[in-house]
Structure 1
Amino acid sequence: MNKEIAIIGSGFSSLSAACHLAKSGYKVSVFEKNSTVGGRCRQFVKDGFTFDMGPSWYWMPDIFDKFFAEFGKKTSDYYQLDKLSPAYKIFFEDDTITIGDCMDKICVEFERIEPGSSIPLKKFIKTAQENYDIAINKVVLKPGLSPLELITPETVTRLDQFFKTISSEVRKRFKNPKLISTLEFPVLFLGAKPNKTPSFYSFMNFADFGLGTWHPKGGMYQIVLAMESLAKSLGVIFFTESTVSKINVEDKSAKSIVVNGQTKYFDVVLSGADYHHSETLLDQTYRQYSEKYWSKKTFAPSSLLFYVGFDTKIKNVEHHNLFFDTNFEKHAQDIYDHPKWPSEPLFYANFPSETDLTMAPKGCEAGFFLIPIAPGLEDTEALREDYFNIILSRLELRIGQKVRNNIIFKESFCVNDFISEYNSYKGNAYGMANTLLQTAFLRPNLKSKKIDNLYFTGQLTVPGPGVPPALISGKLVADLINKHHN
């Protein structure tokens, strides 16, 4: 066969698709505009410190296992994976909650906060596990072509869960606001407010409490290196610093792409770049979705990120830390309802050197901080500095340690960078939110409706945001291409 396929972008979905397509016999070329493969999963290394610039949570290890197993490989062939104990810590104004590495420990912690709460927790997680099995083995493996994909013998009995919300289900069972925030937190990975997310997505709670939080030694970029190595072994060719500026179409067929000013011809074109940006590479007549369409969609948040090298160890923290010491609902409103810079931001702090000594020099700490914000906000150095001071003061207050004078360096990344580095629509960080009206077949299509041999993959299409869904998205689109072009 040896048909030639061009893949635009080299994020997780593109890497997944490249491996599957090469295995099927296609000649695959991947074009990445930046200097390293991996899309948003990049690494920043400075003065002996190593930071994951994008994804930093390793959830759903079974999805990674399944991916590599399809090629006769195991994750352990490429990287060392450690289960974090505890998984993470949540800071509230007057207390902390530590999420252990198994349900027994988590139940003890829930009982400490709200006596009797472990009983509804076990029932909630049992349902979440059932949902996970259905979601991962049935629903997310569908290509999003028809509403009938959601109708399976398993989902028919729980259709109500697509019309109830996570928020209503959690609040029905738990009264303590700290426990409510803890259980509503995982769906933030899906990019929407808990009161707008179908309760079926409680499967994220099973991913959290049931499957645990893991860390690849050396950081999340090890997954990219593993997938790149696998792809190369299958014959995939990578071109970095290769910007695609145009997809040329003739007779409803994508004939070629323009890379760094040169025209290159292919039989099939697949874009794993931002979906909105990918369509701007086409002449207007071939675009499926208008600017009005995109502007009306609910996008997952953008982020203000900081990468900070400290010359001391940080006390009283874990590898992953959530600072929920301000109003959860208020910050959500500042992202989704009335988009503006948050007055009292929640934030996430990642200190990978707490468990992985390769991430920072001896006696030092690598600190990665993330504030979720609305996409499309004004982004200035002054605003970044103001917010860094806000979260650093809160960090110092909650951990009882002054660390401001221990900063060796800090770098930031925000809306403007998401746009310039990743061509991200409005500078979003996680793609399009998984709300009821943006689930499955209601998301942008994997296959162009206007061009016979043009396909899309990634977090704006099915299944949605997150690293494991991106791996699945790559497989789904590879299967579609095989079906139509093999």
Structure 2
Amino acid sequence: MRVAVVGGGIAGLATAALLASDGHDVDLFEQRDEVGGRAGSRSTEGFRFDTGPSWYLMPEVFDHFFELLGTSSAEQLDLRVLDPAYRVFYEGAPGQDPPPPLDVVADTGANIEAFEAVEPGAGAALRSYLGSAREAYDVALRHFLYTSFTRPIALAAPDVLRRLPRLLPLLTRSLESFVGSRFQDVRLRQVLGYPAVFLGSSPDRAPSLYHLMSALDLTGGVMYPQGGFTHLIGRIADLATAQGVRIHLGASVTEVTTAPVSGRRGRRRARATGVRWRDGDGTERLHPADVVVGAGDLHHLETRLLPEELRSYPESYWEGRDPGPGGVLVLLGVRGELPQLPHHSLFFTHDWRSNFDAIFGGRVPDPASVYVCKPSATDPGVAPEGHENLFVLVPVPADPGLGRGGRDGGGSPQVEAVADAAIAQVARWAGVPDLAERVVVRETIGPGDFEADLLAWRGGMLGPAHTLRQSAMFRSSNTSRHVAGLHYAGASTIPGIGLPMCLISAELVLKHLRGDTSSAPVPAPIQPRRAPATSPVYSAESPENPQS
């Protein structure tokens, strides 16, 4: 079949690669001049910054994806295990000095000992907690992540049924409550609760089933691909083009074209016939297709590219949804070394319930919990010799009204104020008093940039939050209810936020087209229906582009 993929982030690239490998004729349309989407990259004055994901978690998902395409993670990536996995800095209780930082390392036993040193009895509690997390993670991989929940009976596997008495309560109890019943020290609670942020949520809003994330970062599972996450995106793009995918850059899709369905069954009112798109010169073009895959922001795809009567998720649907947090990103090139900071650092405020309440209540938190990535600790190619590369992330409300970022303090006043406060906070908590004076490159990105550049709903940084009503079978579906042949992939859809989830969503599209309703991953490698034809990457302006 002829397939048009809308969006060149990791979900779009992965979907295109898998469908082309399965024998389909695939074109991918990306509005920007480079692929990657949220997993973007910026370079200036010898520094190269990843502007999106920075944690390589759930390695089994990456392994399986590459195996589907006849290769492996080891062949495509140079992965380094981070040790420490990350360092946690604490604000401390009011009127008290902050406690020393806590390192989470690559050795599970050492992490258990570190918890025990903070709180007597917490070591044994952590061992039990990680056992539960590992069980939930393994069950999720086998039964809940590689399914669109179209055939519930497929989920009734014996090992799922045996575990139901333990699994069901995890859906109705918050992660905060689940952790709090096992650990008393606020620092340990924060270490175990912060993975909710990776899911666009907060510990009091995320179901406790997501404690499964701790089976990854506390057991030696944090890695980094040399060359950064932009290198990961490049490898997937190369695999897609090797399978015959034609990538059109600077190609803005303006409409999913459809035709009425005669004698329609159920809710299907139309079928997809292709996409209408505009090149960099403003010329409108029509690309026919049998299948269209929307792999960008689902709100934009549904409310801008389809007529109202064909929308599965109209504007009224989004009015009651949680967009997750926005973010202010601060990209810093720093003169001299920063031994105080490992590859990943987390800066937690003492009262982080107020921190999250502010974010989800529409206010910028003050002070804010902050995440800092220093990839130059692992990858010398991201900064000039004698300098460090810092990526600072401050979660804020998903509100484009906060403005856009800029170079050297040239962003909106609100964005730059958040950046100034974060730099001062990192300097004070980590013991780098001259940090601001040593900054030689500074660039900020705000919620307005996420909305304008990535078409992100409400300027959200990650995608719709993983609350109970926006997780698993309650998340937006991978298929349109009203348009046959229209499918969805990416962070807005099942299974959810994050690079591994986006890879799985791509595989779910493949399963849909194959009629596979199982809850298991597709056997690897893909057995193509025909030999794929190699083709070059085409830009929208290329005179050789067969669709121009």
Normalization by structure 1: what TM-score?
0.96
- Tell me which residue corresponds to 1:24: 22
Deviations 1:218-267 (A, max 9, x none): 11111111111111111111111111011121110121211111111111
* 1:69 counterpart letter in structure 2: E
1:394 correspondence with 2:425 = yes
- Tell me which residue corresponds to 2:248: 239
* 1:111 counterpart letter in structure 2: E
1:190 correspondence with 2:190 = no
* 1:15 counterpart letter in structure 2: L
Q: Is the 8 A contact 2:105 2:220 kept in 1?
A: no
Residue 319 of structure 1: how far off its partner (Å): 0.5
After superposition, where does 1:160-239 map in structure 2 within 5 Å? 160-239=169-248
Residue 343 of structure 1: how far off its partner (Å): 2.2
Name structure 1 gaps, 5 residues minimum.
none
SS at match of 1:416: helix
* 1:40 counterpart letter in structure 2: R
Decide which structure has the larger Cα Rg and report it.
Answer: 2
Q: Is the 8 A contact 2:53 2:499 kept in 1?
A: yes
1:272 correspondence with 2:295 = yes
1:417 correspondence with 2:425 = no
Counterpart Cα distance in 1 of 2:212 and 2:371: 22
1:144 correspondence with 2:149 = yes
Deviations 1:131-170 (A, max 9, x none): 0000111111111336656554315232222122211111
From 264, 278, 282, the counterpart of 2:306: 282
- Kindly report the root-mean-square deviation, in angstroms, between the aligned alpha carbons of the 2 structures: 1.5
- Tell me which residue corresponds to 1:10: 8
Deviations 1:373-394 (A, max 9, x none): 1212522311112111111111
Counterpart Cα distance in 2 of 1:400 and 1:289: 49
Counterpart Cα distance in 2 of 1:64 and 1:208: 16
Name structure 2 gaps, 5 residues minimum.
92-97, 261-269, 279-283, 404-411, 517-528, 530-548
Counterpart Cα distance in 2 of 1:190 and 1:389: 26
Moved more, 185-194 or 453-462: 185-194
- Tell me which residue corresponds to 1:156: 164
1:255 correspondence with 2:260 = no
Counterpart Cα distance in 1 of 2:368 and 2:155: 36
Counterpart Cα distance in 2 of 1:412 and 1:209: 31
Q: Is the 8 A contact 1:13 1:458 kept in 2?
A: yes
Distance 1:152 1:332, change over 3 A: farther
Residue 116 of structure 1: how far off its partner (Å): 2.1
Counterpart Cα distance in 2 of 1:60 and 1:78: 16
Q: Is the 8 A contact 1:271 1:455 kept in 2?
A: yes
Normalization by structure 2: what TM-score?
0.86
- Tell me which residue corresponds to 1:315: 339
Moved more, 456-465 or 11-20: 11-20
Counterpart Cα distance in 2 of 1:117 and 1:187: 21
Distance 1:308 1:125, change over 3 A: same
- Tell me which residue corresponds to 2:520: none
Q: Is the 8 A contact 1:19 1:230 kept in 2?
A: yes
* 2:257 counterpart letter in structure 1: N
Which structure: greater helix fraction? 1
Q: Is the 8 A contact 2:359 2:365 kept in 1?
A: yes
SS at match of 1:210: coil
Deviations 1:428-449 (A, max 9, x none): 1111112111122211111111
Counterpart Cα distance in 2 of 1:326 and 1:314: 24
After superposition, where does 1:33-52 map in structure 2 within 5 Å? 33-52=31-50
- Tell me which residue corresponds to 1:330: 354
Counterpart Cα distance in 2 of 1:290 and 1:149: 30
Counterpart Cα distance in 2 of 1:112 and 1:392: 31
SS at match of 2:37: coil
Distance 1:326 1:409, change over 3 A: farther
- Tell me which residue corresponds to 1:85: 83
Q: Is the 8 A contact 1:59 1:211 kept in 2?
A: no
* 2:464 counterpart letter in structure 1: M
Residue 399 of structure 1: how far off its partner (Å): 2.1
Counterpart Cα distance in 2 of 1:129 and 1:430: 25
Q: Is the 8 A contact 2:400 2:451 kept in 1?
A: no
Residue 284 of structure 1: how far off its partner (Å): 1.2
